[in-house]
Amino acid sequence: MNILNATFHLISSGDDTLWSIVALSLRISLSATLIAALFAIPIGTALAMGRFSGRKLIIMFSSSLMALPPVVVGLAIYLLLSRSGPLGDYGLLFTPSAMIIAQSVLIFPIILALTTEAVSPLEQNYRRLLKSVNASKWFRLRILIIDARFSIFTAILAGFGRAIAEVGAVIIVGGNIAGSTRVMTTTIALETSKGNLELALALGIILIFLAIMVNSIMHIFKSMGQKYHRESR
């Protein structure tokens, strides 16, 4: 009970260490989600629209990338950003920027695959109509993204949920430096090993709350999307 009391006191008292870690975690994961979404959404929509040889193979390969081992991604980015690597001159290793890159790489396939899955049935429904009005590829891309917005937003939330819970890749490229690259997941791992269970539990409770909130919003947007498509038929 003493541990639980101390844990909730940390959360309710606005502890600077605790909430600075939470703020950094949110900033890194939100940035990574935005970057991944900016690339994954148009590419995923283009894949759903495309009719070319090898398309199914590309979709299957992109879906399989969702199972990328985080530590392997972290190692690959570490090698790229290290002093002996091709991007070593930029000095990004062990910075929040390196962590954003790692999380972006990890969640890009998730948003890409879910976007393709969401847009594909809409593209089949609208194909004849859009061709009949001689719509350009850019116009078709924009229309499909707008119409699939609820499902796409759900894909973005799924990516964010994956990013905020990441530990393997970010600890490799971030170094878990206090006040600089120490996020919620890496802090939980470190503080648990040190026996500082109050801080670890406090961050764990906040992570669980974020997971529940993200899943609830995903459910709401999924329901809104289903309702929208039923009414538009």
205: CATH: 1.10.3720.10
Whether the Cβ atoms of residue 99 and residue 132 lie closer than 8 Å to each other? no
Whole-angstrom distance, CA of residue 67 vs CA of residue 181: 25
Instruction: Please report, in tens digits, the pLDDT of each residue of the chain (233 residues total).
Output: 588 888 888 889 988 999 999 999 999 999 999 999 999 999 999 898 887 787 888 888 888 888 889 999 999 999 999 999 999 999 999 999 999 999 999 999 999 999 999 988 887 777 777 777 777 778 888 888 888 888 899 999 999 999 999 999 999 999 999 989 999 999 999 999 988 889 999 999 999 999 999 989 988 887 887 776 666 65
Phi/psi class of residue 60: alpha, beta or left (left: φ > 0; alpha: ψ in -120 to 50)? alpha
Give the pLDDT score at 233: 59
How far apart (Å, rounded) are the C-alpha atoms in residues 26 and 33? 10
Domain of residue 209, residue span: 2-232
Q: What pLDDT was estimated at residue 201?
A: 94
Domain count, the chain: 1
User: SS in 3 state form for the chain?
Assistant: CHHHHHHHHHHHCCCHHHHHHHHHHHHHHHHHHHHHHHHHHHHHHHHHHCCCCCHHHHHHHHHHHHHCCHHHHHHHHHHHHCCCCCCHHHCCCCCHHHHHHHHHHHHHHHHHHHHHHHHHHHHHHHHHHHHHCCCCHHHHHHHHHHHCHHHHHHHHHHHHHHHHCCCHHHHHHHCCCCCCCCCHHHHHHHHHHHCCHHHHHHHHHHHHHHHHHHHHHHHHHHHHHHHHHHHHC
**pLDDT given for residue 232 in this prediction:** 62
Instruction: Report pTM.
Output: 0.91
Output the pLDDT for position 141.
82
